[in-house]
Structure 1
C-alpha cells in the first residue's frame, strides 16, 4: 500500500487514531434539565420510515477503516476531563467544541488524506462548527462543514432530559419521540447530506438519511444507532469514533449526497474485482481499503 504524504513531527507525542478516539469523554455535571423540546426547526416531512442502523457496529466499521485506525499516528491531545458544568444547551455545545472537537481534528485530517490518496483526488478542508444555517431559519446545532460552506455532517443538540433514544424503542407510535431524528433528516434534505447526528449529554445518535434533496414531500428513510456518552476503551464504539466514522463516510464524494430510500449500501459491502496480476481482490465501497480475502461476515458484489 502506498503511504500518503502525511507525517507527524517526531517531537510530538503520538497515538493511533483508534486510541485517540477511544478515550474517555469529559465528565459532565448537568444542572439544567428542561422537560420538553423547544418546537423550533420542526421537521415537516412526508412519509418517513425510521429503522435501527444495524450495521453501524464496530465490527463492520473496522472492516472499512481498521487500517487507518491502527496504522496512522496522530498527535496526542491532552484535555481536561472535568467534571464540566453544563447549565444549558449553549454550555453543552461549548464543552463539545472545547474538549471533543480537538480530539477529532487530527484524526479527520489523517483520514481525509488517506481517503483522498485512494480516490486520487484532494478532499476539502473541513471543520466542526456550531449553529450553521442549513435552510433559513433552520440551523444545525453542530456541523462538519467545508471552507466553501458545504455541509458534510448536520446535527441536533439537546439535553438528556429532553430526549433519549430509548424512547424510540419503547414507543409504539413515534410521534413527537421521533422529532429530533426528523429534524436531522430535514437538515440532510436541505443540504443534500446523507449523514447527521443527535447529541445529548447522555449519548450520540448517528443518523443516515436517504431521500430526495431539497424536497421534503418525497418519502424519506432514517437509519439510526445510539452510542453512550460514557463509552470508552479498547474495542468499544465511542462518541468520538462514531462521529469520525460518519465524517469519513461523508467525505467520500460517492457517498456524501442523498440516495433514494433503501438504496444506501450495507456498511460491510466490499466490491470484488480482478487485479492486474489476475487475482481476485476486494475493495471496501466506503474506504477503498483493499484485501485479498473477504472479511468474515462481509458482503461482496462485482465492482461496477
Structure 2
C-alpha cells in the first residue's frame, strides 16, 4: 500500500490479548545503580517539533508491505514472555524499515539499527542488572556491525505496566533523599536503571517500553550542580554521579491511526513507532552527555545539516570553475524552501543553503542575494524563495562560535613573536 513514511509509522499498535503476570513482583534494583538527583519533564519532544525537523522525509510516499500477527503472538506473559516478542516483531520491524529508508539521506551513510541488547557492547564487567534489553547500533554498507561488539548508543528497557508507569513518577529535586537503594520507591527504580545505563555507556538518551506506553529519557548534569572543572576528565559524565538530572516524556501505546483512518490519541500526537524512529535519529546525530542541551527547536538547524537532501531542495553553490550549479526539487509534498535546511559538502567548497529569515536572524546572519546575470540560479521555487536567506555553512559556524584571536606581539625587529601557547597546552581551560 502506498503511504507516507509518517502514516507508516503511525499505524495503530496491535491490541494485546489477555495479559498474564506474576503478582507481587518488583522492579529491578542494584546496589551499584546511580541515582539521579532531579526528575523533570522533557519539553519539546512532540509531533510539531518532529515535523519541523524532517518535513520531507516524513511525507515521502512509498509502497510498503503490511505486517501481520497471529492471536498467539499477541498474548503477553510478562516482560520477556510475550511482550518483548511483540516489540521485536512489530515495533522494531516498522522502525528498522523506516530507518533503512532514512539511511540514504544521512551524511555518514551508516544504517541506524535497533537490536536486542545482547548484540551490543556492555560496560566492562557488567552484570545482568547493567545490560539493557534493547540497543541502537550502526551498520556499514554491507549490513555488518562496526566491530565484533558494536557500541550501544541508545539503551532501551522492557517493562510491564503493572510494575511501572510514568504516571507514578514524581517530578522534583531528590537530592539527599535516599541513603541507599533499599529506600528507593518502586517508581524510582526504573529511572535509576536507565540513568545508570546512560552513565556507563556515556550516552544521553534511553527509553522504557511497556504494554501501555513508550517513555523516552534524556540525562545530563543538573543545572544546580558545580561548574565544570577544566582538569576533570569526562567531567560531564562524572557529574551524573552526584548532580544528575533525568527528563522524560511519555507516548501512549494506543496512539496512532487505525486501518479505517480513525485517529487514536489525537492527530497531532506522536505514536510509539514515530517516537522510536525519531529518538534513534537523535541518538545517531549526537548522543554525548553535555552540561546543557539546546531545545529541540534549536537543534533543527544542526539536525538537518547532517542530512543530504539534494533531490528535494534547490540550493545554489559555486563549483570549482566559478560557474553556478543548481539543484532542483523533484517533489514538494511537505514543505517549501523556507521550511527546510539542507546542506552538503563538495570537496573543500563552502556549501550554501536556504534557511528561514527568522532562523538566520537568530544566528546573526545576513541574507546573501544571488548574483544576477551569467551566474544567476533559477529553480521551480522562482527567483527568491519567500522569507528565505541564502547563507553559507561556514558563516553559521563563524557567527555562532566566534572566538576573538589574540593580536600577535611585534618584536623589536618588526616580526611577530612566536607564541608559547604550545608549551601550556596542559594548562589550557577546557571549552
Partners of 1:105 and 1:130 in 2: CA distance:
15
Instruction: Tell me which residue corresponds to 1:244.
Output: 277
2:246 alignment partner, one of 222, 225, 228: 222
SS in 1 for 2:43: coil
Q: Choose from 28, 34, 40 the match for 1:39.
A: 28
Q: Displacement of 1:185 after TM fit?
A: 1.5
Partner of 1:267: 296
Aligned partner of residue 207 in structure 1, secondary structure: strand
Q: What are the Cα deviations for residues 182-237 of structure 1, in whole angstroms up to 9, with x where unaligned?
A: 21121111112221101111101011122433775242221110011111124331
Larger-gyration structure (1/2): 2
As a proportion of its length, which structure holds more strand? 1
Alpha-carbon distance in 2 for matches of 1:74, 1:226: 30
Counterparts of residues 30-179 of structure 1 (less than 5 Å) = 30-32=19-21, 34-41=23-30, 44-45=33-34, 48-71=37-60, 73=62, 75-80=64-69, 82=71, 84-90=74-80, 91-116=82-107, 121-124=108-111, 126-131=113-118, 134-135=122-123, 136-137=126-127, 138-146=130-138, 147-148=145-146, 149-169=150-170, 175-176=184-185, 177-179=187-189
CA distance in 1 between partners of 2:32 and 2:104 (Å) = 35
**1:156 counterpart SS class:** strand
Quote how far apart the aligned CAs of 1:92 are: 1.1
TM-score, normalised by the number of residues in structure 1: 0.78
CA contact (8 A) 1:189 1:215 kept: no
Who is 1:18 aligned against?
Answer: 6
Q: 1:35 to 1:268 in 2, by over 3 A?
A: farther
Shift in Å, 1:180? 1.2
Distance change (3 Å), C-alpha of 1:156 and 1:100 = same
Alignment root-mean-square deviation, CA: 3.4
Structure 2 unaligned segments of length 5 or more: list them: 139-144, 178-183, 222-235, 258-266, 306-314, 318-337, 344-352, 365-395, 398-431
Please tell me whether the aligned partners of residues 181 and 198 of structure 1 are also in contact (alpha carbons under 8 angstroms): no
- Aligned residue for 1:182? 192
1:124 deviates by: 4.6
**Is the 8 Å Cα contact of residues 197 and 206 (structure 1) preserved in structure 2?**
yes
**TM-score using structure 2 length:** 0.57
Aligned mates of 2:340, 2:9 — CA distance in 1: 27
Deviations 1:10-68 (A, max 9, x none): xxx44321011101111112121544433345663255221101101111111112221
Q: Are the counterparts in 1 of residues 134 and 155 from structure 2 also a CA contact under 8 Å?
A: yes
Measure the CA separation in 2 of the matches of 1:258 and 1:37. Answer: 30
Query: C-alpha distance in 1, partners of 2:61/2:210?
Result: 30
In 1, Cα distance between equivalents of 2:32 and 2:59: 39
Q: Deviations over 1:241-289 (max 9, x none)?
A: 111110011111xx122212xx11111114499x868xx997499xxxx
For the 8 Å contact 2:207–2:215, the answer to whether it is kept is: yes
Work out whether residues 49 and 296 of structure 2, in 8 Å CA contact, stay in contact via their aligned partners in 1: yes
The alignment partner of 1:213 has SS state of helix
